Amino acid sequence: DNAYVILDEAQNATSIQLKMFLTRMGNNAKFFITGDLTQIDLPRYQRSGLLHAINLLKGISGIDVIFMDKSDIVRHKLVNSIVSAYEAEKEKSKEID
């Protein structure tokens, strides 16, 4: 109750783990969940619980999702170039498929 709770690296949580986390919310609590869907470390056959929750819970009053992009990067200036290179490679592979 009356708490701010942060779950970081949620892209690596399973759906069961994320459900367990979300259903522990007490009165007057605020939950903040962060994760990068491009950095999922789960086995290939296992879907990210964060991705599942985003799709399942969208539209529920009181739940907001904020997506960030490379313009939000505040790390070393090279990180933006690195992210851009990976994004370009991903787009190129889509064209081949």
- Residue 17's Cα: distance from chain center in Å? 14
Q: What's the structural domain count of the chain? A: 2
3-state helix, strand, coil in the chain (%, to 5): 45, 10, 45
Read off φ and ψ for residue 29, nearest 5 degrees: -90, 155
The pLDDT score that the predictor gives to residue 97 is 62
What pLDDT, on the 0 to 100 scale, is given for residue 37? 94
Residues 79 and 36 in one domain: no
Co-location of 38 and 74 in the same domain: no
Q: Are residues 39 and 79 in the same domain?
A: no
Confidence tier at 93 by pLDDT (50, 70, 90): confident
Say what the pLDDT of residue 73 is: 84
Q: Do 10 and 36 reside in the same domain of the chain?
A: yes
Show the domain range for 31.
Answer: 1-66
pTM score above 0.85:
no
Q: Are residues 1 and 43 in the same domain?
A: yes
* Residue 78: count of CB within 10 angstroms of its CB: 8
Given a cut of 90, is residue 6 above it in pLDDT? yes
| Residue 89 CB burial class (10 angstroms; 0-12, 13-18, ≥19) | exposed
Asked whether residue 74 falls in the same domain as residue 53, the answer is: no
- SS3 of 8, please? coil
Reported as a single tens digit per residue, the pLDDT across 34-83 is 999 999 999 999 999 999 999 999 999 999 999 998 888 888 989 999 99
Query: ∠89-13-33 over CA atoms, to 5°?
Result: 90
